[in-house]
A = this chain, B = another copy of it.
C-alpha cells in the first residue's frame, strides 16, 4: 500500500464519524468503538491517525476555526462603515455556524469543559477571530460613527456575549428554528448603545418585531 490519498481519506472518515457521534450523543457517551466502527476500521487502527479520543475532540474544531480565520478578511473586504462591518461579521458568522453545526457544537458546548481549553489552538484562534471586532470598533470611533468614549473591549464583550448566547441556545434547542429569526432587531438594539449621538438608529426594523413578537416567545424563550 503506502497510498497518501487513501490515508487522508481514512483520516477524514474518522473525523466525520467522530464529529457526527460527538454532536449526537455527546463526547462522554461516544466510545472509540463507535467511532472506528462508523469509519469502517478496528479500534486500534484509529490510534495510527490520532493520539486518542481527546486528541480527536481537539482536532476537529481546530480545522474549522482555521478556515474561518482565512475567510473573515475576504468577507469584510470592501464594506464601508464600522456598523456595516459589525453587521456583516454577525451575519457571516451565524451562517458559518448554520453550515457547520457539528463543529460549532463541539466548540461551544464540549470544548469548554476540557481543563486544557485555554491552552488549545482553538481557543487562541477564536480569540484571533474576535480580535477583528476591536479593530472595527476602533475604526468606527475614529470616523465618528461610534461613540468617542466607547471602550472597544467592553463593546466586544457585549457583542460576543450576545452572539454566543444566540448560538448556544440554538444548538441546545437542536436547531429547531432559524438562527436568523429576529437577528436584525437584536443587532439594532445592541448596536444602539454603541452609536454616536448624531448617528441615526434604524427605525424600519423596529416595526417588524411587533408583528413577530409572539412567535419569538414560543420558539426561543
Contacts and interface: CB of A to CB of B under 8 A. Distances in A.
A26 B191 CA distance: 37
A186 B158 contact: yes
Centre residue among A127, A165, A182 by max chain B CB count within 10 A: A165
A153 B216 contact: yes
A73 interface: no
Interface stretch (A42-50, A91-99, A112-120): A112-120
A162 B172 contact: no
A132 interface: no
Which applies to chain A's interface (DSSP): helix, strand, loop or mixed?
Answer: helix
A63 interface: no
A217 interface: yes
A92 B168 CA distance: 24
B113 A189 contact: no
Interface residues of A, number: 48
A110 B26 CA distance: 12
Contacts of A194: 189, 193
A150 B201 CA distance: 13
A213 B157 contact: no
A80 interface: no
Contact of A209 (B154, B163, B182, B213): B154
Nearest to A116: B26
Interface of A: 25-29, 109-110, 112-115, 117-118, 127, 149-151, 153-155, 157-158, 160-166, 168, 172-173, 182, 185-186, 189-194, 206, 209, 213, 216-217, 220-221
7 contacts: A26-B113, A112-B172, A151-B185, A157-B165, A158-B189, A161-B164, A192-B193
